[in-house]
Amino acid sequence: MESINTCNCEGCELKSLFFENVTTSEIESICTRKTEHEYSKGDIIIQEGEAIQDFIYLKTGLVKLYRSGNNGKEQIICFALPLDFVSLLSIFSEQKYNYSVAALEDSVTCNIRMEEVKSIASQNGKFTLSLIEKVNKATDRIILDFLEVKQKRLYGRIAYILLYFSKKIYNSKSFDLPVSRKEIAEYIGMTVENVIRSLSDLRKDGIIKIFGPNIEIVDEDRLLRISELS
């Protein structure tokens, strides 16, 4: 991880995304104190069990939120994109993080000290309501995605995750999977062997092409039907 102690708040997405109800002086106060951190693919951004010290916003990149089970297996909670607040799920309910965050691609976070955020929240009702709204939206998205995956059978889950990366993350029918087969299995609740076999069957049926980590969706309509009906 590399820290960047200075960052320019002019035109920063943080202003419109988060501080709609914060005064100019409050924005300037936060901007002079916030720091940016660069992470390489595979770096840990947040470690489960760490004390919560910063409010963390993903500026660029792609990350996964996950928990480690007693058996050593990971359970991926969700993926986070630029403009997501990756620390939202624990910041006001716990003193320590209940999950970890790791970079799936080279990523940059914007970190704001928690005492600064809590100080503004204690004095600014509109700001606090905005925070609650964002927490609820993040939680709702996780729940809905979880239910969407769980109601599908194996091929439907595989189709769903491929379409998720294609449409929501890369906006392309051809992309490099940012996660391993093992991570896909952890996210959709299947075995690695089932994931590998399902991807192979989709390739044999001419629905996708696979070139190492690269996936190309050849027949999107069929993949959509599998996702919806399987």
Segments making up each domain of the chain, as ranges:
2-148, 152-229
Q: How far apart are CA 131 and CA 128, in angstroms?
A: 5
Is 152-229 in the same CATH topology as 2-148? no
- Per CATH, which fold does 2-148 belong to? Jelly Rolls (2.60.120)
pLDDT surpassing 70 at residue 12: no
Residue 19: its pLDDT value, please? 62
**pTM score of the predicted model:** 0.82
pLDDT in tens, 134-165: 778 878 877 888 888 888 888 999 999 999 99
Give the residue-averaged pLDDT of 82-110: 84
Kind and range of the H or E element at 80? Answer: strand 74-80
Task: Calculate helix-pair angle for 125-150, 154-163, nearest 10 degrees.
Answer: 140
Region for 183 from its dihedrals, namely left if φ exceeds 0, alpha if ψ lies in -120 to 50, beta otherwise: alpha
Task: State residue 9's pLDDT score.
Answer: 54
What CATH fold (topology level) applies to the domain 152-229? Answer: Arc Repressor Mutant, subunit A (1.10.10)
Of 101, 13, 99, 104, nearest in space to 61 by CA? 104
Please check whether residue 157 is in contact with residue 76, taking contact to mean a CB–CB distance below 8 angstroms. Answer: no
